């Protein structure tokens, strides 16, 4: 029996939600077999557009001149990415598609507000995968916009209890929410000492340095400024050579300039290094001694998950909340909210006791293996899909 999904995503950037969506779709494709197919609507493209295209046709709602990270593209987006433009393009696409073309609408974010009522009209159940915390929902959506997603969704997937709490606070019934944490397709091989030294050489990291890696676009929410504060605090605590590596591009140019000025002001040019956006972060995680998630807000950190899977210890702030799913049973890895000195102290403890650091990493890796791999999570998602489709068939006789 054939099954076709309409997938609605906000972008194809190399970031958490789009990458998680790809893993969901690949897992579903493997589980359902050749009878399953999908088409993807992207509000905006990005480097992962080709990956979505390998799964099925991709329809871009943005203008090609508005694509990319250049200043000109950003300026053009201000004129073409109006709330009424993309829905008009979507309506035109839907008008070309026959009734009954899709068996499910899989909406990958709560922020596709103005698009959800339109895709609702294809007649298929709508399943919305929510990656946003209450902070993000309030920052990027008005109450009226959020209500469009909430009022046109049959069931919600929440990536963590923090997200489920945000949905409950927005009026969604508990029975309409299922927590499905982020996951990895498989447990990667754990790099041994030789492999780690090889990666250090490729990443131009000194073999004797204590390496701390952070990852995410340079933005206040990701706590890049806190990462610099932690580097300064740890530098004052130890004479050991340190390398603080930040992976990620600049999405807030003014904030990025401020952070770089702070690095210079604190004389940390030889300690803190901004690598920029990378296609693959895993080699950097493997080469690191610790991965630091300095976010002020996290729904569920894919960075922490990937680093843990490699057996790397991960530290962060308890106030980010979304880290609790992985680190909550190891409180020494979570510092009080935004206390850079406390996080530096946690790093110093790992620096001074490599055996304990290794044990922490192995415990996190075991946790990933037992609860954050694809097979059971895909089964959870497909169980919900089957119930939604059965309910639809019952309603239509």
Residues 294 and 377 in one domain: no
Residues 171 and 261 in one domain: no
Residues 114 and 180 in one domain: yes
DSSP-assigned letter for residue 342: H
Residues 301 and 389 in one domain: no
Residues 231 and 272 in one domain: yes
Residues 364 and 382 in one domain: no
The helix (run of H) or strand (run of E) holding residue 363 is helix 354-371
In which domain, by residue range, is 217 found? 193-371
Q: Which residue has the tokens 């044990």?
A: 359
Interacting residues of 317 by C-beta distance below 8 A, sequence separation 6+: 223, 226, 293, 294, 295, 296, 323, 334, 335, 336, 337, 338, 339, 343
Residues 206 and 141 in one domain: no
The helix (run of H) or strand (run of E) holding residue 316 is strand 314-317
Give me the mean pLDDT over the 154-172 stretch: 97
Q: Tell me how many domains the chain contains.
A: 2
Residues 295 and 391 in one domain: no
220-251 confidence digits (pLDDT tens) = 999 999 999 999 999 999 999 999 999 999 98
Give the pLDDT score at 94.
78
Sheet-wide strand order for 242-247: 272-276, 242-247, 210-215, 290-293, 314-317, 334-335
358: number of Cβ within 10 Å: 15
119-150 confidence digits (pLDDT tens) = 988 889 999 999 999 999 998 888 999 999 99
Residues 152 and 265 in one domain: no
Separation between Cα atoms, residue 340 and residue 347, nearest integer Å: 11
91: left (phi > 0), else alpha (psi -120 to 50), else beta? alpha
CATH number for the domain spanning 388: value is: 3.40.50.2000
pLDDT at 99 over 80: no
Chain centroid, CA 383 distance in Å? 23
Residues 207 and 170 in one domain: no
199-221 confidence digits (pLDDT tens) = 999 999 999 999 999 999 999 99
Residues 278 and 367 in one domain: yes
Separation between Cα atoms, residue 140 and residue 250, nearest integer Å: 19
Residues 277 and 304 in one domain: yes
Separation between Cα atoms, residue 277 and residue 275, nearest integer Å: 7
């Amino acid at each position: 029996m054939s099954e076709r999904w309409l997938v609605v995503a906000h972008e194809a950037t190399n970031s958490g939600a789009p990458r998680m969506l790809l893993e969901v779709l690949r897992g579903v494709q493997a589980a359902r077999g050749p009878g399953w197919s999908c088409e993807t609507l992207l509000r905006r493209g990005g480097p992962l557009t080709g990956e979505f295209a390998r799964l099925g046709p991709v329809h871009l709602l943005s203008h090609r001149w508005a694509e990319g990270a250049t200043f000109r593209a950003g300026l053009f987006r201000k004129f073409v990415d109006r709330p009424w433009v993309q829905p008009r393009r979507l309506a035109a696409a839907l008008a070309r598609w026959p009734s009954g073309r899709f068996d499910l609408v899989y909406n990958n974010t709560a922020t596709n507000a103005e698009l959800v009522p339109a895709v609702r009209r294809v007649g298929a159940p709508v399943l919305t995968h929510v990656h946003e915390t209450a902070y993000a929902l309030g920052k990027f959506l008005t109450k009226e916009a959020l209500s469009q997603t909430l009022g046109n969704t049959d069931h919600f997937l929440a990536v963590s209890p923090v997200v489920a709490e945000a949905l409950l606070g927005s009026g969604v019934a508990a029975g309409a929410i299922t927590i499905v944490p982020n996951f990895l397709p498989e447990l990667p091989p754990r790099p041994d000492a030789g492999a780690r030294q090889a990666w250090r050489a490729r990443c131009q990291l000194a073999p004797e340095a204590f390496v701390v890696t952070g990852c995410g676009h340079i933005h206040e929410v990701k706590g890049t400024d806190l990462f610099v504060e932690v580097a300064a605090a740890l530098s004052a605590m130890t004479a050991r050579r340190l390398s603080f590596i930040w992976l990620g591009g600049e999405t807030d140019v003014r904030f990025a300039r401020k952070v770089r000025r702070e690095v210079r002001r604190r004389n940390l040019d030889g300690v803190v290094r901004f690598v920029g956006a990378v296609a693959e972060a895993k080699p950097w995680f493997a080469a690191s001694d610790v991965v630091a998630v300095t976010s002020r807000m996290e729904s569920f950190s894919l960075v922490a998950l990937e680093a843990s899977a490699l057996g790397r210890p991960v530290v962060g702030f308890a106030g980010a909340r979304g880290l609790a799913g992985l680190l909550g049973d190891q409180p020494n890895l979570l510092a009080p909210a935004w206390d850079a000195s406390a996080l530096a102290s946690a790093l110093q403890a790992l620096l001074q006791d490599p055996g304990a650091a290794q044990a922490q990493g192995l415990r996190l890796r075991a946790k990933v293996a037992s609860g954050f791999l694809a097979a059971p999570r895909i089964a959870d998602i497909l169980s919900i899909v089957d119930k939604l489709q059965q309910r639809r068939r019952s309603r239509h006789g």
